[in-house]
Chain A
């Protein structure tokens, strides 16, 4: 069974703080993704990574950065948290085999509140 875990279920931070959200997958997946989920907007892709030390911007990368030092771990960083970054953050992972498509597996999410 694929397992994607996220370091915290709930997090409360103050404006201006540096925030780290951690994600770990145990299935040796090449691809990892960070999304944020907001009511009425669905999921929006922040960043993704095809390999260690590789990253690509998604649809809404502003205010975020990422780090992938090991294949199983993908971190999302909020350099200076702001209240408009209050949201649910979801991590996902998947295999990559050329043009074949494999579904993404999601973690349980981290609900971040910035006050």
Chain B
């Protein structure tokens, strides 16, 4: 079985300051991990993915995440927040058995303070 825990339901940061959204996963096998973003009234968009290559993954819009097996974590970071980053972020885990069943976290709402 696999699961993912997003440690914060809501994060607020000031514009121009760093962003950290935390995610821990549980998986019996080697996982694939993703971060998706959902802007208000929009569908989900893939930010980045880890699929057993480099442990530091760079995504779109300046976001990156580091896979840490020893800590079972996949935290999302950005050096400097922008107003357009305000959205809901989902951490997602999947196990590569040739199917693509994703398990979603409950989401973290990111608010940017001007």
Chain B residue numbers with a CB within 8 Å of A41 are: 106
**A side interface size, CB within 8 A:** 27
Contact B100 A94 (CB under 8 A): yes
Bitwise, B71-108 to A at CB < 8 A (1) or not (0) is 00000000000000000001000101111111011110
Q: Which of A62-70, A71-79, A98-106 contacts B (4 or more CB under 8 A)?
A: A98-106
CB distance from A84 to the nearest CB of B (A): 19
Asked if A112 lies at the interface with its beta carbon under 8 angstroms from chain B, I say no
* Distance in angstroms between the alpha carbons of A92 and B92 in the assembled complex: 14
Closest chain A residue, CB of each to CB of B90 = A42
Chain A residue numbers with a CB within 8 Å of B41 are: 108-109
Contact A90 B32 (CB under 8 A): no
Q: Which residues of A contact B (CB under 8 A)?
A: 4, 31, 35, 40-45, 48, 50, 58, 90, 92, 94, 96, 98-99, 101-109
